[in-house]
Structures are given as structure tokens and as C-alpha cells.
Chain A
């Protein structure tokens, strides 16, 4: 039974790796930009302290989500890249 469970876990793990390998860099950059733009727009509209706090949490989440792609985003997004986009959002 343990062996079967291990085998299933291995299969799930390898399929996760395969899915991770399939990631398009272009799609990833687009996703980051869309999320950053959405946060930025909402920041302009924010009226309360609570909304601002929620948006700050969104920036933290964005930073964490794309931390592994930092090098790619810094190269691909001109002129701001990952670092300056996050910096601007924290502004």
C-alpha cells in the first residue's frame, strides 16, 4: 500500500514538474504586468485605509508569486523590470 502511495506521489510530482516546464515566459511576463497594472489602478481609486492595506497585501503577494521569475522580468520589462515595478507599487 505504501509503495502504491509513493508511486502515486511520484507521478503527481513528475506531472507538476512537467506542468512547470511548460510555462511560457511570455505568458508569465504578461500575467505579471496585468496584475501590476490592476493593483496600480485600484491604488488610484482607493479611498480608505483598509483598501490601501489590502492593496499592500496584494503587492506582497505579487512580489512573492513572481520572485522566481525576477531575472526574466528584469530583462523583459523595459525600463522598470520586476524590482522597479514592485518599488513603484509600494511608492
Chain B
């Protein structure tokens, strides 16, 4: 039995070209566009008082954020939140570092749609920070704690060789 193969060679060529063209369009649409390198470092930290609703608002970097969950996570107290002064800084890679007085930890967040997601909780002191402050010291974030020696932080934790 003979099958009529390749009766119209010009037509199948056309089909191949169309198929190739569509595949190219689909692949181009799927590939993600990446812009690199970027530097997202804030020159100085943002210092904001938490209001009674658990919100902070920064007028220099133009953002607002509800931090109730963070305060509850650290203090297990969701009632007395309005006197907390939260300190935030963003590193070169775009990660946000947050802490406050009496906190034992520094929280590292990454940006997601409409909010921030915790990526790391870094235990910096068992006694609670006395008078914390962040400094931008690329590629690290420096954490000051009163008169104690400063500590260098990355999104993974305390820089090796530093105080734990």
C-alpha cells in the first residue's frame, strides 16, 4: 500500500517556518527579563515609631508597612506596640533588615507583592539590644548595640569571626 507522502513539498516547508516562528514567539514570551547588577542599598537606616494600628510610615524612602506580626513574633505581645521604634535598613541586594530596642533578633526580609517575607531571623543577643542602630557598610550591614562592639550582618547571619 502506498501512502501519498510529500505530495506538496512547498506546503510542508511553509508549515515548518510557521511552526518555528510561533515557537520563537512563545519562547521569547516565556523567558524572564533580568536586570543586573543593581544596588538597592539605603545610605542610612529608617527609624519609625509604630502607631497603635501596628503601622510604620517612612517619609524619606516613601513606604508604609504593617509590622504587628513582627512585633508579636519578637515580644509575644500584640497589645503594647505603639511605643516601639523600629529600625530598618536595606542592603545592596535589596534585603530589608529590621530590629528595635530590646529585640534579641534582627529580622531579614525580602520584598514580595505588596509586602515583605521573612527569610532569616538572626539571634544577635540573648539580653536584648540596648540601643541598636544600623549602618550601611557594603557589602555588609553593621549593627551597633550601645557600647558593645559592632557586628557585621549579611542576609545569612552574623559575619564569621564576629561576636555571636
Contacts and interface: CB of A to CB of B under 8 A. Distances in A.
Nearest to B41: A75
Contacts, number: 30
A22 B147 contact: yes
The 6 closest A-B pairs by CB, nearest first: A24-B133, A75-B43, A76-B43, A76-B44, A26-B44, A25-B135
State the majority secondary structure of interface residues on A: helix
A27 interface: yes
Interface string B59-87: 01000000000000000000000000001
A25 B43 contact: yes
Given A26-B133, A72-B44, A76-B43, 12 more contacts: A18-B149, A22-B144, A22-B147, A23-B135, A24-B133, A25-B43, A25-B133, A26-B45, A26-B134, A72-B43, A75-B43, A78-B60
Contacts of B60: 78
11 contacts: A21-B149, A22-B150, A23-B135, A25-B44, A25-B133, A26-B44, A26-B45, A27-B133, A29-B44, A72-B44, A76-B44
B150 A21 contact: yes
Interface in B16-71: 43-45, 47, 60
Given A72-B43, A72-B44, A25 B136 contact: yes
- Interface size class, chain A: 10 to 19
A32 B159 CA distance: 31
A1 B164 CA distance: 38
A52 to B, nearest CB: 32
B100 to A, nearest CB: 14
